[in-house]
Amino acid sequence: MKVNKNLLSFFKSTVTVVALSSLSGWAFMLLDKPFLPAFLLTIGIQYILFTAVAGTVNNYFIQQTKQKELDKLENLSTLLECAACKAPNITTFIPDQNERFEFVCDKCEGKNVVNINFTVARVTELSDPMTVAPTIPNISTR
């Protein structure tokens, strides 16, 4: 029987939290303090700390992943027409969804904004390119 990794990880972390909280409660018992408040307080502190650390680590790795994806993007060099005078301009930019790209026309000094529009098309595949279906059916005469 194979155990799910997430379930095993949850079980290990729960056992660790309960063990640390029990040790804390036991230490308070040695100081003639009640066990349950120390136990519950330690669980609460661990929950808050683990949530804060997990959130921080998650955000860090999300930002690192986004930065790596942006670093993978190559500069695009393209010939763009000015919206005002239709003069061709060679521009180089990095496509980034969070950044607005503007360029100034070389001829008329007009400000332009680049709109990038991606369209998706379906690839047409032939089932068997070697088989040709007749366009006129065979007519049999009687």
pLDDT confidence bin for 60, thresholds 50/70/90:
very high
What residue spans define the domains of the chain?
A: 5-72, 76-113
Q: To which residue do tokens 């120390």 refer?
A: 38
What does the alpha-carbon distance between residue 56 and residue 63 come to, in Å, rounded to a whole number? 11
**pTM of the predicted model as reported, rounded to 2 decimal places:** 0.43
What 3-state DSSP class applies to 101? coil
* pLDDT one-digit tens code per residue, 61-79: 999 988 887 777 666 677 8
Q: What is the mean pLDDT of residues 117-132?
A: 73
* pLDDT one-digit tens code per residue, 80-95: 888 889 898 888 777 6
* pLDDT one-digit tens code per residue, 40-51: 999 999 999 999
